[in-house]
């Protein structure tokens, strides 16, 4: 999925309109552009070309570049620019009709982590509490981000799937800390952890309680196709996994 700011599309539309506005006066249509209007038109075309490339609008790129290169070789007439900009407007309209845009509402936008911002600013507001977890468990970062992005994009069942993978990173860390061989069979692995007796330590006792409750309530059902989750359920699971992983990050890493 292409992640862009909506203002980039608006910039193209505004640049096209600026050219049209520049030509919307009584002019000698077959005369070449004045120096000032030529500079205005070519600057707007360059802006359209740059935005179109960034948005992968291939047809607009081709048309805008053709006009831009032609204008650099010889100054066009007002009539020619008017015809060219109508063609470019049509191409832009057609390309927009082929696109599908998705809007993330404010209440879920905080879960979204951007792929286009620097790492330290990429985490959504609601995901910032996972910062210490990512630092302690870098192997879980992708699933943490994907869980948040799935929730932001209204995919609660996929959200829970990724959260269970985050929990698995925690289970591995607890197993390693207690000298227990990790097993993808959570039930057997948790039973082996409990046999060690170290769960009497408050830290591990709390960790095991989280693991067992998540296993019974969410992890097992998530592995079967008949289980689907609603947005409120996914949000509650988010909170539980957050609490568990933040707890582990205070003493463990992995």
From CA 204, how far away is CA 251, in angstroms rounded? Answer: 10
Q: With both helix axes pointing from N to C terminus, report the angle between 78-97 and 35-54 in degrees, rounded to the nearest 10.
A: 20
Is residue 120 pLDDT above 60, yes or no? no
Q: Which residues pair with residue 32 across a beta bridge?
A: 77
Q: Provide the greatest CA pair distance for the chain.
A: 92
Classify 6-97 by CATH class: mainly alpha
Name the residue with higher pLDDT: 54 or 118: 54
From CA 237, how far away is CA 249, in angstroms rounded? Answer: 18
Name the residue with higher pLDDT: 206 or 69: 69
Is residue 38 a contact partner of residue 31, using CB atoms and an 8 Å limit? Answer: no
pLDDT of the residue at 109: 83
pLDDT of the residue at 85: 95
The reported pTM is: 0.73
From CA 238, how far away is CA 104, in angstroms rounded? Answer: 18
Share above pLDDT 90 across residues of the chain, in percent, rounded to a whole number: 46
Task: Name the average pLDDT for the chain.
Answer: 85
Name the residue with higher pLDDT: 160 or 210: 160
Is residue 57 pLDDT above 90, yes or no? yes
Is residue 115 pLDDT above 70, yes or no? no
pLDDT of the residue at 126: 76
Find the mean pLDDT for residues 82-88.
95
pLDDT tier, 118 (very low <50, low <70, confident <90, very high otherwise): very low
From CA 211, how far away is CA 203, in angstroms rounded? Answer: 13
pLDDT of the residue at 7: 84
From CA 204, how far away is CA 75, in angstroms rounded? Answer: 76
Is residue 215 a contact partner of residue 186, using CB atoms and an 8 Å limit? Answer: yes
pLDDT of the residue at 227: 74
From CA 225, how far away is CA 228, in angstroms rounded? Answer: 8
pLDDT of the residue at 210: 81
Q: Which residues pair with residue 77 across a beta bridge?
A: 32
- By residue count, the chain amounts to 254
Structure tokens at 45: 């075309």
Q: What is the pLDDT of residues 15-27, one digit of tens each?
A: 999 999 888 776 7
Find the mean pLDDT for residues 110-137.
74
Find the mean pLDDT for residues 110-116.
76
Is residue 53 pLDDT above 50, yes or no? yes
For the chain, the domains span 6-97, 106-249
Whose structure tokens read 């696109």? Answer: 99
């Amino acid at each position: 999925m292409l992640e862009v700011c909506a203002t980039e599309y608006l910039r193209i539309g505004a640049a096209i309109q600026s050219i049209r506005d520049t030509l919307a006066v009584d002019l000698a249509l077959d005369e070449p552009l004045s120096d000032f209007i030529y500079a205005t038109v070519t600057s707007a075309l360059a802006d359209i070309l740059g935005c179109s490339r960034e948005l992968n609008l291939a047809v607009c790129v081709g048309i805008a570049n053709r006009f831009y290169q032609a204008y650099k070789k010889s100054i066009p007439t007002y009539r020619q620019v008017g015809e060219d900009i109508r063609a470019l407007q049509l191409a832009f309209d057609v390309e927009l009709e082929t696109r599908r845009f998705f809007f993330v509402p404010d209440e879920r936008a905080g879960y979204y982590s951007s792929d286009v911002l620097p790492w330290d600013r990429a985490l959504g507001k609601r995901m910032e509490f996972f910062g210490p977890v990512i630092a302690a468990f870098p192997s879980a970062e992708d699933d943490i981000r994907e869980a948040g992005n799935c929730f932001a994009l209204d995919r609660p069942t996929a959200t829970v799937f990724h959260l269970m993978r985050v929990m698995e990173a925690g289970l591995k860390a607890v197993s390693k800390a207690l000298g227990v061989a990790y097993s993808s069979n959570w039930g057997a692995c948790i039973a082996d952890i409990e046999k060690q007796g170290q769960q009497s330590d408050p830290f591990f006792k709390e960790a095991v309680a989280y693991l067992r409750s998540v296993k019974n309530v969410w992890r097992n059902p998530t592995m079967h196709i008949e289980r689907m989750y609603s947005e409120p359920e996914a949000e509650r699971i988010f909170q539980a996994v957050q609490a568990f992983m933040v707890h582990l990050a205070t003493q463990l890493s992995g």
